[in-house]
């Protein structure tokens, strides 16, 4: 395996028009609801709002094009996950609310499937669950602890269970697999096809989508763009990692980069060695997150964290390809599956996800200012955006529902530290996570560096 001549755009974009094909704003405009960001948060919000009240004038704008950000370039994990785990939810809000929140996330996986089927969105949705491999005694300990998190709040084996070594290797035959965990609440999908299919479904419901229209300022019921001013009774900020580009929100969300590679389609003999026959999404229990899926056309799409945070919350196209990170991702993939040695890498790419200082997602509304927002998914957004969109829609029309009383509603984020403290803390945390993985692999003992590194970069429990 080598980087070679791999394309530096997402594999998923090969299937869509990855450019602005819709007009940009031309002059001032007034609507009922204006949404900034044509990713999954913005599109799900528009979709459900239009379903509740078809008479609403809903406008979605994007600085580039539909699905340009994380929504169109992620790992395709539609899974039910709270970034800091159920134990954090229970600690913050009590066991009953934690279970309600998780049950809402579980149900959301099936809601995404329902909408894709109803709208004819062929995004290769396959509900094979989520598998995490335990590849060392320390991983086994973490796997048992993960299952115990579920049991502690009363969620049984139908939601999360431990797999012994033989069953784990049958699911995914990675090297040194000694066990693992599996949850049925996850699906693999093609995220760009989902995002673009959802955009078309919104337009069929009467939503207007404008591309190549950056928002330079968002204030009370007002969006400033280079091409005109949009006024609306309610503005939805669905900007996730790009939130830091808004002048008054530069410290609200840190854009953290995640990177991926995709192999050429693999032959059946190779898949027999690897497993993943039911297309579960997969990872393991190391400190620096890895994630992968078997695609519908027989490739391995695989990614990981660990890219540097860029000073001043900078985001740039040039950051999408990172030789060092992509080389490490290849090394880890071959370590997991030696049969892939020498396999062609056809694509490599990256993108920024949004991380709030406390690592907790939020769905919120300020009715006095006429602004609502959602985000802070920290990479768990493919499924969570649907729940956020339904919640925002209900909040905007002032409709009480089960989702508007979930614990993430009206959660307030505190700002990240100013630079250079932000740059120093996040990158030191990433370095410590890498060192912790190396130490744990060498000694088999938990590393304190991992926990301290998580604290430095904001991932605290």
Q: At what angle do helices 137-152 and 86-93 cross, to 10 degrees?
A: 40
Same domain, 363 and 397: yes
Same domain, 210 and 246: yes
Q: How many separate domains does the chain show?
A: 2
Residue 228 lies in a domain: yes
Q: Is residue 138 included in any domain, yes or no?
A: no
Distances in whole angstroms, Cα of residue 333 to Cα of each of 175, 182, 351: 10, 20, 19
CB atoms < 10 A from the CB of 233, how many? 15
Would you say residue 385 lies in a domain? yes
pLDDT value at position 458? 59
Asked if the structure places residue 306 within a domain, the reply is no
Report if residue 459 sits inside a domain. yes
CATH number at residue 24: 3.50.50.60
pLDDT at residue 169 above 80?
yes
The secondary structure element, H or E, covering residue 96 is: helix 95-118
Same domain membership, residue 422 and residue 401:
no
Residue 126, φ and ψ in degrees, nearest 5: -145, 120
Strand partners, 294: 300
Asked whether residue 151 is assigned to any structural domain, the reply reads: no
Residue 302 lies in a domain: no
107-131 pLDDT, tens digit each = 999 999 999 999 999 999 999 999 9
Q: What is the helix (H) or strand (E) element at residue 256, kind and residue range? A: strand 254-263
450, pLDDT greater than 80: no
Structural domain including 449 reads 418-461
Q: Do 380 and 435 lie in a common domain?
A: no
Measured distance CA(460)–CA(104) in Å, rounded: 23
| Secondary structure (3-state) at 124 | coil
Q: Are residues 201 and 247 in the same domain?
A: yes
Residue 360 pLDDT > 80: yes
What's the pLDDT at 312? 97
Question: For 3-22, what is each residue's pLDDT tens digit?
Answer: 878 999 999 999 999 999 99
In a domain, 126, yes or no: no
- In angstroms, the first-to-last Cα distance of the chain is 37
Q: Which two tokens stand for residue 195?
A: 């995002």
* Same-domain check for residues 58 and 21: yes
Rounded Cα–Cα distance for residues 91 and 461 (Å)? 9
Same domain, 380 and 423: no
Residues 15, 70, single domain; the answer is yes
Tokens (6 digits) for 211:
């591309």
Would you say residue 457 has pLDDT above 60?
A: no
The residues near 308 (Cβ < 8 Å, ≥ 6 apart) are 257, 427, 430
Tell whether pTM > 0.95. Answer: yes
Q: What is the pLDDT of residues 16-60, one digit of tens each?
A: 999 999 999 999 999 999 999 999 999 999 999 999 999 999 999
């Amino acid at each position: 395996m080598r980087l070679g001549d791999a394309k530096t755009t997402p594999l998923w974009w090969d299937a869509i028009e990855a450019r602005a094909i819709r007009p940009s704003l031309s002059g001032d405009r007034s609507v009922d609801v204006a949404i900034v960001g044509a990713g999954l948060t913005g599109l799900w919000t528009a979709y459900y709002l239009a379903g509740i009240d078809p008479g609403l004038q809903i406008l979605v704008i994007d600085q580039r094009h539909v699905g340009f950000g994380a929504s169109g370039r992620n790992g395709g994990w539609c899974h039910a996950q709270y970034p800091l785990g159920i134990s954090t939810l229970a600690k913050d809000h009590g066991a009953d609310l934690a279970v309600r929140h998780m049950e809402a996330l579980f149900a959301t996986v099936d809601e995404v499937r329902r909408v894709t089927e109803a709208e004819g969105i062929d995004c290769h949705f396959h509900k094979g669950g989520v598998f995490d491999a335990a590849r060392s005694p320390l991983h086994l300990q973490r796997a048992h602890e993960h299952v115990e998190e579920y049991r502690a709040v009363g969620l049984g084996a139908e939601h999360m269970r431990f797999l012994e070594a033989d069953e784990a290797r049958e699911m995914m035959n990675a090297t040194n697999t000694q066990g693992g965990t599996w949850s049925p609440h996850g699906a693999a999908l093609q995220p760009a096809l989902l995002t673009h299919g959802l955009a078309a479904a919104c337009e069929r419901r009467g939503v207007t989508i404008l591309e190549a229209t950056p928002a330079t300022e968002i204030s009370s019921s007002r969006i400033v763009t280079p091409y005109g001013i949009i006024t609306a009774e309610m503005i939805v900020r669905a900007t996730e990692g790009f939130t830091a580009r808004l002048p008054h929100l530069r410290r609200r969300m840190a854009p953290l980069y995640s990177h991926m590679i995709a192999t050429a389609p693999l032959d059946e003999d190779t898949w027999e060695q690897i497993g993943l026959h039911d297309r579960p999404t997969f990872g393991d229990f190391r400190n620096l997150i890895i994630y992968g899926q078997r695609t519908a056309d027989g490739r391995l799409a695989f990614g990981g964290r660990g890219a540097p945070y860029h000073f001043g919350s900078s985001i740039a196209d040039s950051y999408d390809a990172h030789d060092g990170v992509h080389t490490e991702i290849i090394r880890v993939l071959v370590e997991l599956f030696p049969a892939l040695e020498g396999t062609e890498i056809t694509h490599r790419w990256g993108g920024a996800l949004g991380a709030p200082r406390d690592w907790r997602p939020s769905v919120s509304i300020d009715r006095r200012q006429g602004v609502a927002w959602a985000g802070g998914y920290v990479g768990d957004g493919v499924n969570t955006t649907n729940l956020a969109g339904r919640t925002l829609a209900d909040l905007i029309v002032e409709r009480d529902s089960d989702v508007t009383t979930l614990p993430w509603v009206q959660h307030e984020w505190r700002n990240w530290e100013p630079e250079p403290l932000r740059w120093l803390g996040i990158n030191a945390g990433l370095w410590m996570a890498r060192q912790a993985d190396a130490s744990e692999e060498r000694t088999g003992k938990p590393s304190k560096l991992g926990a301290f590194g998580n604290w430095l970069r904001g991932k605290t429990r």
